[in-house]
Amino acid sequence: MTRLDVKKTYKLYIGGEFPRSESGRSYVVNDAKGRFMANAAQASRKDARDAVKAARAAFAGWSGKTAYNRGQVLYRIAEVLEGRRDQFEAELRASEGVTAARARTYVDAAVDRLVWYAGWADKIAQVTGNANPVAGPYFNHSAPEPTGVVAVVAPKGPLLGLVSVVAPVIVTGNTCVVIASEPHPLTAITLGEVMATSDLPGGVVNVLTGSVAEIAPWLASHLDVNGLDLTGVTDPALATDLEIAAADNLKRVRRPGVEELLDPPPLDRMTRFLETKTVWHPLGI
Residue 169, pLDDT score:
97
Dmax (CA) of the chain:
88
pLDDT of residue 282: 83
Distance CA 242, CA 154 (A): 15
CATH number for the segment(s) 26-30+37-282: 3.40.605.10
pLDDT recorded at residue 4: 83
pLDDT value at position 130?
77
List, as own/partner pairs, every contact residues 81-86 make where C-beta atoms lie below 8 angstroms and the sequence separation is at least 24, other chains included.
81/107, 81/110, 81/111, 81/114, 81/191, 81/194, 82/111, 84/190, 84/194, 85/111
Measured distance CA(63)–CA(145) in Å, rounded? 8
Residue of 41, 59, 49 whose CA lies nearest to 192? 41
Helix (H) or strand (E) holding 141: strand 138-146
Domain regions of the chain by residue span: 26-30+37-282
- CA end-to-end distance (rounded Å), the chain: 88
| Distance separating alpha carbons of residues 135 and 119, to the nearest angstrom | 36
pLDDT in the model for residue 133: 80
**pLDDT given at position 163:** 96
pTM: 0.93
pLDDT 10s digit of each residue in the chain, 285 long? 788 888 888 999 999 999 999 999 999 999 888 899 999 999 999 999 999 999 999 999 999 999 999 999 999 999 999 999 999 999 999 988 899 999 999 999 999 999 999 999 999 988 888 777 887 787 877 888 999 999 999 998 889 999 999 999 999 999 999 999 999 999 999 999 999 999 999 999 999 999 999 999 999 999 999 999 999 999 999 999 999 999 999 999 999 876 778 888 889 999 999 998 888 888 765
